Amino acid sequence: MTTTLNDKEFEIVTKLVQTGFEKASLSITQILKKTTYVERIELSIKEIEGRPVYTEKEGINVHVLRTEIKGDMTGFCYLIFTQNEVSEMHSACLPAEILSQDNHKTKKMKWAMLVEAANMVTAAVLTELANFFDVFMYGNIPSLKVMHGDRVNDYLQNEAIENAKKINFKGVFGSSDLNISLDFIWLLDSSFINNIKNSVNLDKSLRQA
């Protein structure tokens, strides 16, 4: 199927993604115990071309939490934040005695907090997609890569090319209590578009029956 959407289909995608991201922001609020919200959504449903700017994160230690999506629709999602944003999140969630130490145990706890965040925000969107399309989807255990900000966009684009992921959309989460602006990026295959079109066609058939 083509990746071109008509107005009705694009409206459905917009509402679906927005609802998923809003539920993801509630999950982040639950984790951090600080109010977070959807700062903006970048939704461009078309085949990935050239060298897209997926994120504008800068700095030496940009954290990329990667979750592989499996099931009836496949892809990857990435929760991306700077070192300062990681510190903000850790400070919001972890006790002072953990923050002040840097050993194997405390590193494990800090890592577990980030994994929990990735799991919960991913599950929020996955649940919305799976329920809407009536398909089976799940996310693998997140993996963490820390790299210079200059490398992140190339890393994501290589992932898209190597795994034939053609669709991308992005949510940015801000907070009224913390100095964070988290990028939540999705790369999916064309079955996402196929499912949108099929759901619209099914709805038309049911209404005409």
The pLDDT score that the predictor gives to residue 207 is 43
> Is pTM, for the whole model, over 0.85?
yes
Dihedral over Cα of 108, 150, 162, 135: its sign: positive
The pLDDT score that the predictor gives to residue 77 is 95
The pLDDT score that the predictor gives to residue 209 is 38
* Integer CA distances (angstroms), 131 to 61, 115, 124, 136, 203, in order: 36, 24, 11, 9, 15
Which pLDDT tens digit goes with each residue over 109-155? 888 888 988 999 999 999 999 999 899 999 999 999 999 999 999 99
What whole-number distance in Å separates Cα of residue 53 and Cα of residue 153? 6
CATH number of 7-208: 3.40.1550.10
Residue 68 has pLDDT above 90, yes or no: yes
**Are the CB atoms for 121 and 23 separated by under 8 Å?**
no
Residue 208 has pLDDT above 80, yes or no: no
The number of C-alpha atoms within 13 Å of 147 and in the hemisphere containing its C-beta is 14
Residue 167 has pLDDT above 60, yes or no: yes
Mean pLDDT, residues 39-55 taken together: 77
Q: Which residue has the higher pLDDT, 111 or 3?
A: 111
Residue spans of the domains in the chain: they are 7-208
Which pLDDT tens digit goes with each residue over 86-104? 999 999 988 888 888 888 8
Of 1-10, 83-92, 126-135, 159-168, the range with the lowest mean pLDDT is: 1-10
* pLDDT band, residue 1 (cuts 50/70/90): very low
The distance in angstroms from the start CA to the end CA of the chain is 25
The pLDDT score that the predictor gives to residue 199 is 76
**Are the CB atoms for 23 and 83 separated by under 8 Å?**
no
